[in-house]
Structure 1
């Protein structure tokens, strides 16, 4: 059975559900009187009501600072985390930018939640009065679990397209991740024999047209906003100026693949090419073979503005394994290296009560990107390392591959600049 969760791309008028209100907006199909619904529509309204009440709404508006900080000062030295974040995103000239890398890491991590939570977190980060639009397609038999969030600032100058990665308990997501059969991309890109990860490609295409429709509406003047756009028609009349794409895990792979499409499909490049500023991904797997990677490296934007972050021994950037066929990364890679031997000594001292211990390292640019895991044997090793990190005695031992290092909180922590407490601004 297939289900599609989108904002209906304005083909039907739908009112968004403000945070804190119950119920759903009325949906009135063209040519049908209010109150008259087909059975399928009635079922959809009931499902929407349950999901909105209990879990998420399709379009979410950020709570005000007064709601997020009901006591004391609404704005302090640390809240919001970044003052004037929307203008900072729009005006950034160099990438990677440390603050933007932190913002995108937080966005990618909270993309595993719901639109209301993501909207609240992004408001705390500095995107006051933002709106989040969720676009989701699910077809279990086709191994599709595609979820994208479009976050827009109050003025409309900036937008973040964030893809959700692999949910730890989502069996279909995991099956999609290992669906590594080579598939040719649907347009000319360098070598005509270049192939990509079938699961990633299928999931990007599942929501691509709804995503592009949402971006098309965001790209026009704010005065042309229509009901259901998630915009109020106020603010900058010039429309979208800066677009960022981000994601963690397979969400990062989908983000990179969408960037490739935007750069090489003419209809997208002409509309969004000059607005796409950078792609930030975290713990991203490889999404194409050597021919695909070389074709991407020939594109200046994909070579310099696709920025991949890899945390220490994270296993996912080394996947798919060589046993699944040849794959290769493209773009710039920054690696967070932790000196395990030093930390191990400090760990022994910590057990003696002398000092504290923290898994601290530093970011460094890699000239040679993460290489494929030679065999599938590295996967159970990575799973065992997750349990090793739970024990104090083995926490700082060096490993080859680690599943624990793939967790999004590590990326957020390692990219949090000095002086910033956390993404809540507290």
Structure 2
């Protein structure tokens, strides 16, 4: 387990480790995210989430620097990385907190191209039960289960308005060896930095608030509570759906602040669960799940039918030359893993030969090149500047 924290520079300062969070200030980006009603699709939010999902593949300081230029300057970011090759588990989540602690973004890293463990987990699609609420992709679920015990307390603390910088360093301190009878770290450990927040960082017990209806405006006083967004590209999108399902389940049973979640924005997300899983959770948070698909990206059609009956849920948005547009008909599964993969690879090769007139006009149903996060980021940028629609 590896936990890292970074301070987001206010302008162009190089990210430094752990500084106290600046006081609340009028930030149009943060104010805009706070004004989004639960279950309402918003183009600016889609752009910010696509940036967070795309840059989740980088290291924590690069992520912090990029997101500071997106309006989160002065905030904090924490990266939680878990790797166990023998268990085919390798995943990373990043929590982003605005300077005034009013907006929290949970972003999951997707499949890393050079990670054999990620690819094996993706292929291992044997289903597993999800809280007696249907079945989900086993490879995705195992990665989520391994990460959640560490991720959950940090996310809960951020939703209470606590400083991620302070809480993350307390979490890191748990893994330091300490001599018997003393609270001081043993040789080689560094002292825990002062992050300006001395409140308790134990996992929160949140107050009595249940799920709200689609489009509900924040109740009186909600503007002072953190708004939560969840995002991810590829595998990260699948983990984002599992995180939302977990929060929804816990929200019903243990009265979590479900109302804090404003939306789940995924990009190139594969299918996560079976028909029963979709049926149960579609009513709960389907109106808050916004899935984006670029052209003929093969991954949203995965896992294939040969791996089982998987379904999509939520609202689906497809790419156009003017940005994202809502589609009422959801994409269906590819027929087989081998066939769709070979087709996707062939489409990628042919795309590089687009200058040859005959080859450039051959249509392919699937493409691996279309799955690149740069495509999703580019279309999101076009959506932000488009008028109407």
TM-score in terms of structure 1 length: 0.71
1:51 aligned partner: none
1:308-352 C-alpha deviation (Å, 9 max, x unpaired): 000010000000000111100011111114xxxxxxxxxxxxxxx
1:285 alignment partner, one of 246, 270, 273 = 270
Deviation of 1:241 after TM superposition, in Å, equals 1.8
Secondary structure at 1:252 match in 2: helix
- Residues 1:303 and 2:286 aligned together: yes
2:90 alignment partner, one of 129, 136, 145 = 145
Distance in 2 of aligned mates of 1:406 and 1:179: 20
- The CA RMSD measured in Å over matched residues stands at 2.7
Matches within 5 A, 1:18-417: 58-67=4-13, 84-93=28-37, 95-185=40-130, 187-189=131-133, 194-222=134-162, 226=166, 228=169, 232-233=196-197, 240-266=225-251, 270-299=255-284, 302-337=285-320, 360=321, 362-376=323-337, 377-393=339-355, 394-395=359-360, 397-417=362-382
1:189-240 C-alpha deviation (Å, 9 max, x unpaired): 2xxxx21000111111111121111012212244898462695449xxx975
Contiguous gaps of at least 5 residues in structure 2: 15-25, 171-193, 199-222
Indicate the structure whose relative CO is greater, using CA pairs within 8 Å and at least 6 residues apart: 2
Task: Report the CA distance shift for 1:371/1:258 in structure 2 as closer, same or farther (over 3 A).
Answer: same
Distance in 2 of aligned mates of 1:308 and 1:217: 27
Distance in 2 of aligned mates of 1:120 and 1:208: 26
> Which shows bigger deviation, 314-323 or 365-374?
365-374
Contact 1:130 1:152 in 2 (8 A): yes
Secondary structure at 2:255 match in 1: helix
**How many correspondences in the alignment?**
324
Distance in 2 of aligned mates of 1:188 and 1:240: 32
Distance in 1 of aligned mates of 2:342 and 2:363: 16
Deviation of 1:92 after TM superposition, in Å, equals 1.3
Task: Report the CA distance shift for 1:254/1:224 in structure 2 as closer, same or farther (over 3 A).
Answer: closer
Contiguous gaps of at least 5 residues in structure 1: 7-57, 69-81, 338-359, 421-426
Return the index of the structure with the highest Cα Rg.
Answer: 1
1:47-72 C-alpha deviation (Å, 9 max, x unpaired): xxxxxxxxxxx11112231437xxxx
TM-score in terms of structure 2 length: 0.77
Secondary structure at 1:145 match in 2: strand
Distance in 1 of aligned mates of 2:46 and 2:91: 23
Secondary structure at 2:291 match in 1: strand
Contact 2:108 2:236 in 1 (8 A): yes
Deviation of 1:396 after TM superposition, in Å, equals 5.9
Deviation of 1:391 after TM superposition, in Å, equals 2.2
Moved over 6 A (4+): none
Secondary structure at 2:136 match in 1: strand
Task: Report the CA distance shift for 1:279/1:287 in structure 2 as closer, same or farther (over 3 A).
Answer: same
Deviation of 1:283 after TM superposition, in Å, equals 0.2
Contact 1:320 1:373 in 2 (8 A): yes
Task: Report the CA distance shift for 1:396/1:151 in structure 2 as closer, same or farther (over 3 A).
Answer: farther
Contact 1:303 1:331 in 2 (8 A): yes
Task: Report the CA distance shift for 1:264/1:64 in structure 2 as closer, same or farther (over 3 A).
Answer: same
